[in-house]
Amino acid sequence: MAPQRPQGGTGLQLARVFPNLTFNLPVGMYQAPGDSARWYVIEQQSGLVRVFPNDQGVQLSDVTTFLDLSTRIQTAEEMGLLGLAFHPQWPATPQVFVYYSVANTSPVENRVSRFTSSNGGVSLDPNSEQIILRLVKNQPDLNHNGGNIAFGPDGYLYIGAGDGGNGGDPNNNSQNRNVLFGKMLRIDVSAATGYAIPSGASGNPFAGNAKCTGGKGTAACPEIFAYGLRNPWRWSFDRSTGDLWVGDVGQDTREEVDVVTRGGNYGWHIREASQCFSPGTNCGTTGANGEPLIDPVVEYGHDVGAALTGGYVYRGTMLPNLVGRYVFADYITSRVFVFQPPNPLVAANPRVVLTPSDAALTAPQPISSLAQGNDGELYFVGYDAGGQLFALQPASGGADTIPTLLSQTGCVGANATQPAPGLIPYRPNAAFWSDSADKERWIALPNGTTITPQTPGEWSLPSGTVLMKNFRLNSQLIETRLLMRHPDGVWAGYTYEWNTAQTDATRVVGGKTKVVGNQTWGYPSENDCLLCHTQVAGRSLGLETAQLNGNFTYPKTGRNANQIATLNAIGALAPAISGTPTTLPAYPDPYGTSGTLDQRARAFLHTNCSQCHQPNGPTPVSIDLRYTTTLAQTGICNAVPAAGDLGLTNAKLVAPGAPDSSVLLSRVNRRDQFAMPPLGSTVVDAQAVTLLRQWIQSLSSCQ
């Protein structure tokens, strides 16, 4: 049965990690998507991206150069190599985007470029550079470059651009919507070259205007997502909610943290944080175009710190009391702060003003940047000539209760490829797509407990339950996943990677990807597991009456029997499910021949999409893809897409009779940042694409 949940200790500390390593003026630390086996560090003035194994015993001799821009960067003052973002589909799409200051340019130029790996992700080819966006300053100042870049949950590239200096100048850039400086920018880099502007209902606010080539234009720049920022030095997306948290460095008296939304004006240089920038001036509450100025969520005076380093909302597991809190730092004072956002989060209501006593820790070096591992844990980058790396950890106590080896879990027998005695095998009628892998599934119920069937929806499983799933490619075991309901009732997922000898599997912490045969296989992080196994869908996924109302050949006995009847007979269901298989609901196999075309298509959508797309689900769009929801009530039929039209003509989520105008089909038929599902797959389900195309073609209306 499931052990006690891993527990974090009490208190916080910054512990040095990778103690044998130092870096030259580092300003960023990153992990590639799905790869927790290594870290990347960018050095501002050397122009190097360094890469090293995620091993506490790593030596300086193990550090290699991932990208060398030393001959291309300008290093004066705040300029240099400032930001890096891996393509969301790395390494299948071997592209990395870099923000840097260009050498020997007048006026000063910052640049966003795309670099490609031609050696399987070992390094980037400097000669592969494709310039995506140029920001040429209209004043000579060498500071306020911003430079952080990251892909948002919508798949677009976000770029934090500072105001370029001249804070006291009445012509400061931040309120001028005809320039890119002092803004949060958002662009679509999915094309082979250049960039497009996100458009549509959730597109950029000035999407219809001409691009601001070089950083300025004659009308409001379509690249702008939000504005009124001074120097958004470091910022991040909350990986749970998608909220954009921006640390904006102040000037004379105030530092601020903003939760930035589309089209928002955050006040600089009319205001500094919530106060007038020019003391004694009535600066009002609106911008030059009459739009409201949005207050920061957090601010503090220069008695607390003088240069804010933005951070992350904590979503790790080591510090459970910190989950949902925003962690950030101050560069000048080396103070670390932990902020509890209000619930629900409403910018400026209330606004929190920090005092010196609010500091949680003091770092041993100035903090130039924070980092978030794939496992959600937080790191701090020390900035000096011998820059060191630190991790936020519990000050004392804590225990990891999850075994390192699958053979130690009790879920498998002496032969680790076989389940332990007592596990109940099962198979859903409509299985989740897992990149062509063959799967085996088992339920482990604690002694004396039963499953409570729920109608409709997922069954309720007792605390202590473990669900085990094996994945095979070409008959070889590659992964085993354990989904546990710990004794305290909390669900969590853990995954194990099989060795080549097929004798045991080792736990993967934080997720990873590797090439298996001719495809890339992803091992989910602990957080990834719960992104699909959602609370609204009951966590287990697949354990519901309509999924298990079907025959299954039980491996131990070779008997073929109905699964509901079998679970009733062994006393696993309480109360037992009444009725015969023919009177109970049953989903058809989407890839089979039973059931109508409509039923098979809806079964696919139910299994692969409805865990998120249903009422109270975690997505921002209001659609319901559960099997029992009528097509007219799903919110997809003839509905205008709220998250982009993907360039389709007359785009609808589902356009009856017109599959090529249906965004739903396009998302299933791709594996870029616009794919659905958005994680857990690197291979398109060709059978599902054919099924959905035929289904949409067959529709004549939304009834």
Give the pair of three-digit tokens for residue 40.
Answer: 């990347």
Residue 12's alpha-carbon distances to 179, 315, 325, 360, 703, in angstroms, are 42, 15, 13, 8, 57
Check whether 475 has a pLDDT greater than 70.
yes
Check whether 68 has a pLDDT greater than 50.
yes
Comparing 37 with 263, which gets the higher pLDDT? 263
Average pLDDT (231-239) is 96
Among 147-161, 484-498, 544-558, 615-629, which is the least confidently predicted range? 615-629
Check whether 434 has a pLDDT greater than 90.
yes
Q: What pLDDT score was predicted for residue 348?
A: 47
- Can you say how many angstroms the Cα of residue 276 is from the centroid of all Cα atoms in its chain? 36
pLDDT for 145-162, tens place per residue?
A: 999 999 999 999 999 999
Judge contact between 328 and 337, C-beta under 8 A. Answer: yes
Check whether 610 has a pLDDT greater than 70.
yes
Judge contact between 265 and 288, C-beta under 8 A. Answer: no
Is the four-CA dihedral 338, 342, 344, 349 of positive or negative sign? Answer: negative
Comparing 579 with 342, which gets the higher pLDDT? 579
pLDDT for 651-670, tens place per residue?
A: 999 999 999 999 999 999 99
Check whether 529 has a pLDDT greater than 90.
no
- Residue 22 identity: T
Check whether 382 has a pLDDT greater than 70.
yes
Size of the chain in residues:
703
Instruction: Name the DSSP letter for residue 659.
Output: G
Judge contact between 417 and 477, C-beta under 8 A. Answer: yes
Distance in angstroms (rounded) separating the CA atoms of residues 185 and 401: 43
pLDDT for 316-368, tens place per residue?
A: 988 888 888 999 999 999 999 999 887 666 554 567 899 888 999 999 999 99
Q: What pLDDT score was predicted for residue 279?
A: 54
Residue 218 banded pLDDT, cuts 50, 70, 90: very high
Judge contact between 163 and 183, C-beta under 8 A. Answer: no
Check whether 673 has a pLDDT greater than 80.
no
Judge contact between 164 and 210, C-beta under 8 A. Answer: no
Q: What pLDDT score was predicted for residue 170?
A: 65
pLDDT cut 90: percent of the chain above it: 75
Among 216-230, 416-430, 499-513, which is the least confidently predicted range? 499-513
Assign 3-state DSSP to the chain and report helix, strand, coil percentages, each to 5: 10, 30, 55
Average pLDDT, the chain: 92
Give the pair of three-digit tokens for residue 302.
Answer: 């220069």
Average pLDDT (633-650) is 89
Q: What pLDDT score was predicted for residue 231?
A: 96
Residue 387's alpha-carbon distances to 4, 21, 333, 384, 573, in angstroms, are 38, 9, 16, 5, 59
Q: What is the maximal distance between C-alpha atoms in the chain?
A: 85
Average pLDDT (613-642) is 89
pLDDT for 3-62, tens place per residue?
A: 998 776 568 999 999 999 999 999 999 999 989 889 999 999 999 999 999 999 899 999
Residues 6+ apart with CB under 8 A from 606: 430, 587, 625, 626, 627
* Buried-exposed string 172-211: b where 16+ CB fall within 10 A, e elsewhere: bbbbbbbbbbbbbbbbbbbeeeebebbeeeebbbbbebeb
pLDDT for 78-133, tens place per residue?
A: 999 999 999 999 998 999 999 999 998 888 899 999 999 999 899 999 999 999 99
Q: What pLDDT score was predicted for residue 524?
A: 87
Average pLDDT (150-176) is 88
Residue 546's alpha-carbon distances to 458, 468, 582, in angstroms, are 10, 20, 11
User: 10-396 is classed in which CATH architecture?
Assistant: 6 Propeller (2.120)
Domains of the chain by residue range: 10-396, 404-559, 587-703
Q: 């100042």: which residue's tokens?
A: 141
Q: What pLDDT score was predicted for residue 169?
A: 67
